[in-house]
Amino acid sequence: MITVGSLYSGVGGIDLGFQKEGFSISWSNEWDKNACITFRKNFKHRLIEKDIWDIDFSKLSKVDVLTAGFPCQTFSVAGLRKGFKEKRGKHFFRILECIDFLKPSVVFLENVKNLKNHNSGNTFKTIIECLKLREYSIHEKIINTKELTEIPQNRERIYIVCITKSIEKYKKFSFPNKNVKTKKINSLILKNYDSSLIYND
């Protein structure tokens, strides 16, 4: 079975996606206590509840796939956009340290779509160059949640899939095609209902 290690797991959204597709999650990492409470109610595998800067990578089991939905505030248009100049922006380099130690066959990264244009594209260029230096084939795409799922949310994120060249030469990766599943709100409104249940001020 293909094993997965998850950094910046939050409440486990990325973990759940991989788990539903048959992957085995070996361990996950999250530092936010409230997120960890929710995570533990939904998953049974090992959760490392600490700041990634405090993790000893030598104590992590090797995995086939490493995922990371790393902090996005410093790249988001809703934030100050300081990028690599502040600590939250340096988390990517901590991910690289984990990659160098574990040497996963696949790396899956997720962030806000503005990551691609931050600092006139130089931030994204640095990220891609760092990953290519580690002999990965890189695939990246901005995908809107509403175009592939039934979740009624207009949420665009950038996904970066890195695959070792030794694997990709046998099977080429491609992102799924657009497949709109999101229901319109009028399809959720009951046509027949008991008027006594309607609340009036």
Q: Which residues are catalytic?
A: 72
Closest CA to 145 of 41, 13, 15: 13
How many angstroms separate the CA atoms of 28 and 197, rounded?
44
Q: Phi and psi dihedrals of 143, rounded to 5?
A: -125, 140
Q: Cα-Cα-Cα-Cα dihedral of 89, 110, 126, 5, to 10°?
A: 90
H or E segment and range at residue 130: helix 122-132
Name the one residue in this structure whose structure tokens are 């530092």.
31
Q: Count Cα neighbours of 25 within 13 Å in the Cβ-side half-sphere.
A: 25
> Residues in the chain, how many?
201
